[in-house]
Amino acid sequence: MSPLILKGVRPYGEGDPVDVLIRDGVIAAIGAYDETSATLDGHPVHPGGTTSGDVTSGGTGHRTVEGGGAVLLPGFVDLHTHLREPGREDTETIATGSAAAALGGYTAVFAMANTDPVADNAVVVEHVARRGREVGLVDVHPVGAVTVGLGGERLAELGTMAKAGVRVFSDDGHCVHDPLIMRRALEYSKALDVVVAQHAEEPRLTVGAQAHEGEQAARLGLQGWPAAAEEAVVARDCLLAAQVGARLHVCHVSTAGTADVLAWAKARGTEVSAEVTPHHLLLTDERLATYDPVNKVNPPLRTAADVERLRQALADGVIDCVATDHAPHAVQDKDVEWSAARPGMLGLQTALSIVVETMLRPGLLDWRGVARVLSERPAEIAGLPDQGRPIAVGEPANLTLVDPDARWTVRGAELASIAANTPFEGMELPGRVVATLLRGRVTATGGRVAA
Ligand SMILES: NC(=O)N[C@@H](CC(=O)O)C(=O)O
Ligand SMILES: [Zn+2]
Ligand SMILES: [Zn+2]
C-alpha cells in the first residue's frame, strides 16, 4: 500500500494544523510536508496527486487526505454493539454494522453475544471474528456469553472462548442475576484475565417494566422500571468483584444513583469500569409522551437530573467511557404498540455527534477528553494493545478525522444499518466524521465506506 498523508490536521484539536505521514499502517512522521523536496519531517515521500476531501489512488505516488484543519483522534472503540449476525440478518449484518462503525469513526467494536444462536461457545465467536476480518472495515471482537444460552443458570465455557480470543464476556440483554453464578464468573474472569460486562437489572424488580419508574410513567400509564433495579445489582457486583479481586465492567449506566455507587466503589479501590450510552447522555423520559417506541430502550430513558449526573460522572471519570449499545430492530418488532415493541436504538453513526453536543460544547470535555471516553479507556478496559494509542510516530494508524464545525441532519434511512430505529431522526447535530483509518487503510471517507 502506498504511503498516505493526512494534510492539515489537528491532533486532539490542539495547535496549528500539521501533516501526518502514514506508512505500512504506522504513523511514520508528523510535521510539515515539503512539496519541493518531497519530504515530511525529513522522511522522503514519493510525490502524488491530491483529491480534495477524498483519497487519491495515486499510482506509484502517495495518497492524500485533505484535512482542512479537522481534528485528528485515535480511532473509536465501542465496547457494546449488537450486530445481529447470526440470526437477525434482516436487521443488521456484520457487513452493514461494520460499515456503520467505520462511518461513525470506529476502528474496533465488541459484538454482543445475544445473537441466535447465542455466542456462548467457540464456534459462534470464531464465526463472528472471521466474518469481521473478511469484511475488514473495523476490528470486530466477539463478546462471549457468561451463561449457556444467556439462561443465567450455567456458566458457559469461558476458558474455551477466551482461548479463541474473547476478551469481554456478557449476557447483555439479560442480567447475570444469580449472585453465585456472578461470583463464579468473576472468579473465572480473573484467572483468564478477561472482563465481565454486566447488564445490571434485577429481574424481579422489572417484571413487565416499560419505562423509568417515576412521574412520567405514572402519567402515561406505563409500568415502571425502578432505578434501584439497576443500582442494587451494580452495588452487589462491586462488592463481589472486590471480594474476589476481579475486574467488573458495568454496561449502559442510566441513573444518578448508579454513578454514586460507582464513585463509592472506585473510592474504596474496586476495579470497576462503566460505560454510558449517547442516548442516556441526551434524552429523557419526557420523550415518551408520544408513545413512539423508537424511544423504548433498556435501560429506559431516565430524568433530566439523571442525564445531568451522567454527564458529570463521565467528565469526572466516575463513568469511564461511552459505548453505543447500537441495537438495530426490524420495523415489525419496533413500530408496534409500546408494550410489544423491542427495546433498543441505533447508535454507531451518531455517537460522536451526541458526545460533541452533550459533552464538548458545554465544556465538560475537551477533545483530549473525547479521545479518552471514545477510544483510550474502552481500549484499556478490553485490553486492546493497538487501539486507543497516542497520536505519535511509531504508533498504529488507527485514526479518526472529525470536522468539528460540520452540522448534519440525521436520517435513519440514510444510515448504513439495515434497520433505521434512530431516536435522533430529523435532529441537526454538530461534528462529523470525515475519515476513518484502520491500520493506515481508509475505511470510510466523505460519508462513504471504502470499496
Ligand atoms: N439495549 C436494548 O434496549 N436492547 C438490547 C439489549 C440490551 O442492551 O440490553 C438489544 O439487544 O436489543
Ligand atoms: Zn443491556
Ligand atoms: Zn446491549
Q: What is the mean pLDDT of residues 112-139?
A: 98
DSSP state, residue 343: P
Question: In this predicted complex, what is the ipTM?
Answer: 0.99
CATH architecture of 75-382: Alpha-Beta Barrel (3.20)
Pocket test for ligand 1, best of 172, 176, 177 (most atoms within 8 A of CB): 172
Give residue 2's pLDDT band: very low, low, confident or very high (50, 70, 90). Answer: confident
Q: How far apart are CA 112 and CA 78, in angstroms?
A: 11
Helices (H) and strands (E) in the chain, counts: 13, 21
Q: How far apart are CA 185 and CA 171, in angstroms?
A: 11
Given 120, 325, 333, 403, the catalytic residue: 325
Report pLDDT digits (tens) over 41-90.
Answer: 999 987 655 444 456 655 557 899 999 999 999 999 999 999 999 999 99
Of 202, 208, 189, residue with least CA distance to 228:
202
| The pLDDT value given to residue 52 | 40
Q: How far apart are CA 156 and CA 152, in angstroms?
A: 10
Q: How far apart are CA 256 and CA 253, in angstroms?
A: 9
Q: How far is the CA of 92 from the centre of ligand 3 (A)?
A: 14
| The pLDDT value given to residue 101 | 99
Q: How many CB atoms lie within 10 A of CB 450?
A: 16
Report pLDDT digits (tens) over 198-251.
Answer: 999 999 999 999 999 999 999 999 999 999 999 999 999 999 999 999 999 999
Q: Among the CATH numbers 3.40.5.50, 2.30.40.10, 3.30.420.40, 3.30.70.20, which is that of 4-73+398-405+428-449? A: 2.30.40.10
Place of cell 493526512: 6
Q: At what angle do helices 122-135 and 94-103 cross, to 10 degrees?
A: 50
Pocket test for ligand 1, best of 80, 81, 82, 199 (most atoms within 8 A of CB): 82
Nearest CA to ligand 1 atom 2: 344
Q: Under a CB-based contact definition with an 8 Å cutoff, are residues 278 and 321 in contact?
A: no
Tell me if 222 CB under 6 Å of ligand 1: no
Q: How far apart are CA 164 and CA 146, in angstroms?
A: 15
Residues in the chain: 451
Of 149, 191, 289, 120, residue with least CA distance to 128:
120
Q: What are phi and psi of 338, to 5 degrees?
A: -45, -50
Tell me if 277 CB under 6 Å of ligand 1: no
Q: What are phi and psi of 65, to 5 degrees?
A: -115, 120
Residues of the chain with CATH 2.30.40.10: 4-73+398-405+428-449
Q: What is the mean pLDDT of residues 380-390?
A: 98
The contacts of residue 208 (CB under 8 Å, 6+ apart) are: 223
| The pLDDT value given to residue 60 | 52
Q: What is the mean pLDDT of residues 253-258?
A: 99
Q: How far apart are CA 294 and CA 272, in angstroms?
A: 31
The contacts of residue 153 (CB under 8 Å, 6+ apart) are: 147, 178, 181
Q: Under a CB-based contact definition with an 8 Å cutoff, are residues 287 and 241 in contact?
A: no
Q: What is the mean pLDDT of residues 346-366?
A: 99
Task: Answer positive or negative: Cα dihedral of 94, 96, 102, 104.
Answer: negative
Q: How far apart are CA 210 and CA 244, in angstroms?
A: 34
Nearest-atom number in ligand 1 for the CA of 297 is: 3
C-alpha cell read off for 96: 452493514
Nearest CA to ligand 1 atom 9: 173
- 344 labelled binding-site residue: yes
Q: How far apart are CA 48 and CA 58, in angstroms?
A: 6
Residues of the chain with CATH 3.20.20.140: 75-382
Q: How far is the CA of 80 from the centre of ligand 1 (A)?
A: 10
Q: How far is the CA of 124 from the centre of ligand 2 (A)?
A: 20
Does 369 have pLDDT greater than 70?
yes
| The pLDDT value given to residue 1 | 78
| The pLDDT value given to residue 51 | 46
- 374 labelled binding-site residue: no
| The pLDDT value given to residue 200 | 99
Q: How far is the CA of 173 from the centre of ligand 2 (A)?
A: 4
Tell me if 78 CB under 6 Å of ligand 1: no
Does 266 have pLDDT greater than 70?
yes
pLDDT, mean over the chain: 96
SS3 call for 385: coil
- 280 labelled binding-site residue: no
Nearest-atom number in ligand 1 for the CA of 327 is: 12
Q: Is 325 a catalytic residue?
A: yes
Q: How far apart are CA 283 and CA 287, in angstroms?
A: 7
Does 328 have pLDDT greater than 50?
yes
SS3 call for 215: helix
Does 262 have pLDDT greater than 70?
yes
Tell me if 344 CB under 6 Å of ligand 1: yes
Q: How far apart are CA 82 and CA 90, in angstroms?
A: 13
